Structure 1
Amino acid sequence: MWGLITSLNDVLIPHLKSIYTLTYMQAMLVQFCFFGAYFIVSLPAGALIRRLGYQNGAVTGLMIAAAGCALFYPASNGGYGMFLFALFVLASGITILQVAANPYVTALGPARTAASRLTLTQAFNSLGTTVAPALGGILILSTVVLSADQLALLPAAEQAAHKAAEASAVQGPYLGLAAALALLAVLFAMARLPKIAFDDTTAAVDAKGGAMSYRHLVLGALGIFLYVGAEVSIGSFLINFIGEPHIAGLSHADAARYVSMYWGGALVGRFIGFAVMRYVSPGKSLAVTALGSIALVLTATFTEGSLAMWAIVAVGLCNSIMFPTIFSMALHGLGKFTGQGSGILCMAIVGGAVVPFVQGILADTIGLQISFLVPAACYLFIMYYGVKYANLHKQKIAAE
């Protein structure tokens, strides 16, 4: 569900950009508010979950996310700022849900295959990210949005009415999501799930240092920051990039299908990764896929036409295993600090706010296509992390 909600932002951004005639930097405030919630809410979410437990914490997250979706109804009449507030509330709920859910997956089985299990759960998460852009293209982007020049010819009252009508296209989809999230909260509250507790003696934990005393966690948090930033940034600009005349020249509604392919690549790759990573080192797999992402992004940056379009879409396949792999590697050997480490990693998802904003500034100043060097640089560090910790699962971990 959170995958569907997150990738709907890729449709929402060009829609709101057209309605409110925003610059790329202003349009990226959608991701800034959405992923900024991860930074602000993650640590309080960890404290909340310690108080309520993982299951009740997940239920709370679902209900807050449902409230955020419901706020899209008044936001359609409240302007761009109200949309940003609704996105922040929605993302706050998703953050609590992720902080609660990811440790469940890492704890329910052997540590050696934690990355494989997280990859499988991310594969099902990718079903939502794959469906959402195509569905959003039909429900949200199929309406006719006037250009800035066309809008300027209308009287002020008609301009306001047109913007309100276009903004209202988001009401139905997000109210449907609100109902679905509320239903999930009820079902999750009624479910009988195992209680998990982490062994205090796992992997020579230094009780004085806390999670931040583990170097592989700190670097893993930076890896999550850059990975999420790169993945979100590419998805956020994809519709506009494919719409460029020298790339494919497609309408927003038609380009949305390729965003589904981008996220669909992650879906396919995660099912493949679930099988492969039971036998191949997570670190080595991470390094290889990061190298592939670098090559594809550079191809999209310095070529044109179909080659550039398909290269950037194919990055989704390479992205597939990165989040669960970095997440599980960073939590390896933390024992009693696993919950704290999970909160830190979820806080690092703020990269999804920062990296697209940086790329937006560059897109406004030096051009959209060349701005894709920003995610390419992010993948370079991820490759380094994979190489450095290629054999992490074989090592005994101690605080530094």
Structure 2
Amino acid sequence: MQTTTTAEVIPESTLRGKTLLLPFILICILFFLWGMVHNLDGILIPHLKKACQLNNRQSALVDTAIFLAYFLMAIPAGILLKRFGYKKSIIIGLLLAAIGASLFIPAANMLAYKGFLGALFIIGCGIAILETAANPYSAVLGGPAGATTRLNLAASFNGFAATVAPFIGGILILSGKEYTPDQLKNMSVTERSSYFLHEASAVKMPYAVLAGALVLVAIAFYFTRLPEIKNVAKEPESDGSFLGALKHRHLLIAVIAQFFYVGAQVCVTSFFIRMAKQGAGIDEKTASYYLGIYGLLFMSGRFAGTAILQYIKSHKLLTIYAVIAALLCGVAILGQGAYVVYCLGAIGFFMSIMFPTIFALGIDGIGDDTKSGSSWLIMSIVGGAVVPYVMATVIDLNGDRIQIGYIVPLICFLFVVYFGISGYKIRRKLI
């Protein structure tokens, strides 16, 4: 039986500015850290494609490895939240991600692509726990009226990472040295081996630093008192169930929308550098700076979106942004020249508010199903594993033409448009 509920909130006695400021700052740091992980992938994919001599589908497995972890860890992450609470779950997620980042060192030493994929999978498992905890925690870390605004503000630091990561990755990881197949064939076995090992070793220092940062933040969480979320209901009601959460129609549609949105975002960033090289004829280091500009626009969109949401309802802004993103994809597919890359950068601005807005609209009004609903929305991030592989397949089947592949994110944005127009509406449960 469905009852009226105030959903999950922090007890009113704890809602004091200074009490909540430090926890919110730490949550923002989490958004920044997993933003660094994801936005280094845009550098890592073309880099490992070169170092390990991969085709598009093989290189897209970088996305598959990390985002598949979201799918497989969503249920365990929800169980962790219910059993240990938000603080302990966040610490576990941070340490697990740190272990994965440290495994980049032996993978690089052995030039083992499967080793890189395994390390990324472990990082993804840790981040899945972090996102399952941090997204709903930031949404309820204060009054219900400001949930979407808080979530977008915290997610703005994810956008900041989208700006920083490509610049750092471009400097520390990309060498700018590229050889044609004929040039590689003319090298001796020793020269080729040395070149590939040198390329692979460039990832060791950045990921070692990332591992250290994750451990330090875990220590900070351990010594910080976090207010735990409590359920406050006007009538007694049963605990939410994992499968039962999908009885909320708008949550189910939000899960599908999140699947397509994340897939579209990963497609844009993962193939950005190759698109810039092929479409504008620029080298990989310069392309990485353009990817950083994309990140800057993404971050700007997050902050601008947070401000605009004070005046426009979140579902309306989501619809407007998704329509524009779809149109920009169309231009990228049909256009010619460097301005195609500019269109991809602009997509970053209009994608910026989609994830947190879909998330907040999806868990709105589902009461005790909030934690399970959060797990479903995190599970839907598996779109980042599936959709880029589909795009890579389209590209490989069309003679390595990157542009034609952008029809895949275009279709994804069209579903987000549907969610923003109608799918978000809270209706009676499906069962």
TM-score (norm 1): 0.95
After the TM superposition, which residues 39-188 of structure 1 pair with which residues of structure 2 at under 5 Å, given as runs? 39-78=71-110, 79-188=112-221
Shift of 1:200: 4.5
For residue 314 of structure 1, the aligned residue among 335, 340, 346 is 346
SS in 2 for 1:122: helix
Aligned to 2:3: none
The CA distance in 2 between the partners of 1:30 and 1:143, in whole Å, is 21
Aligned to 2:374: 342
Which has the higher mean CA deviation after the structures are superposed, 209-218 or 61-70? 209-218
SS in 2 for 1:355: helix
Kept in 2, the 8 Å contact 1:243–1:255? The answer is: yes
Aligned to 1:355: 387
Kept in 2, the 8 Å contact 1:205–1:335? The answer is: no
Q: Deviations over 1:195-250 (max 9, x none)?
A: 11233458999968721101100100001100000001110000000001xx2111
Shift of 1:279: 2.5
Label 1:200 to 1:146 Cα distance change in 2 as closer, same or farther (>3 A): farther
Aligned residues: 395
SS in 1 for 2:271: helix
The CA distance in 2 between the partners of 1:30 and 1:201, in whole Å, is 47
After the TM superposition, which residues 1-400 of structure 1 pair with which residues of structure 2 at under 5 Å, given as runs? 1-78=33-110, 79-200=112-233, 210-244=244-278, 247-366=279-398, 367-389=401-423, 392=425, 398=429, 400=431
Q: Which amino acid aligns with 1:347?
A: M
The CA distance in 2 between the partners of 1:189 and 1:290, in whole Å, is 39
Q: Give the unaligned 5+ runs of structure 2.
A: 1-32
Which has the higher mean CA deviation after the structures are superposed, 162-171 or 151-160? 151-160
Q: Give the unaligned 5+ runs of structure 1.
A: none
Kept in 1, the 8 Å contact 2:97–2:214? The answer is: yes
The CA distance in 2 between the partners of 1:203 and 1:112, in whole Å, is 24
Shift of 1:117: 1.2
Shift of 1:316: 0.3
SS in 1 for 2:177: coil
Shift of 1:52: 1.3
Shift of 1:396: 7.2
SS in 1 for 2:179: coil
C-alpha RMSD over aligned residues: 1.8
Kept in 2, the 8 Å contact 1:201–1:335? The answer is: no
The CA distance in 2 between the partners of 1:287 and 1:73, in whole Å, is 43
Q: Deviations over 1:91-132 (max 9, x none)?
A: 111111111111111212333432211111110121111100
The CA distance in 1 between the partners of 2:239 and 2:415, in whole Å, is 28
Shift of 1:164: 1.1
Kept in 1, the 8 Å contact 2:249–2:427? The answer is: no
Which has the higher mean CA deviation after the structures are superposed, 169-178 or 265-274? 265-274
The CA distance in 2 between the partners of 1:119 and 1:399, in whole Å, is 29
Q: Deviations over 1:314-364 (max 9, x none)?
A: 000000110010000000111111000000100000000111000000011
Q: Which amino acid aligns with 1:368?
A: I
Label 1:156 to 1:203 Cα distance change in 2 as closer, same or farther (>3 A): farther
Shift of 1:86: 0.6
Identity %: 40
Shift of 1:266: 1.5
Q: Which amino acid aligns with 2:124?
A: A
The CA distance in 2 between the partners of 1:378 and 1:163, in whole Å, is 36
Kept in 1, the 8 Å contact 2:69–2:121? The answer is: yes
TM-score (norm 2): 0.88
The CA distance in 2 between the partners of 1:202 and 1:389, in whole Å, is 28
Shift of 1:145: 3.8
Label 1:206 to 1:177 Cα distance change in 2 as closer, same or farther (>3 A): closer
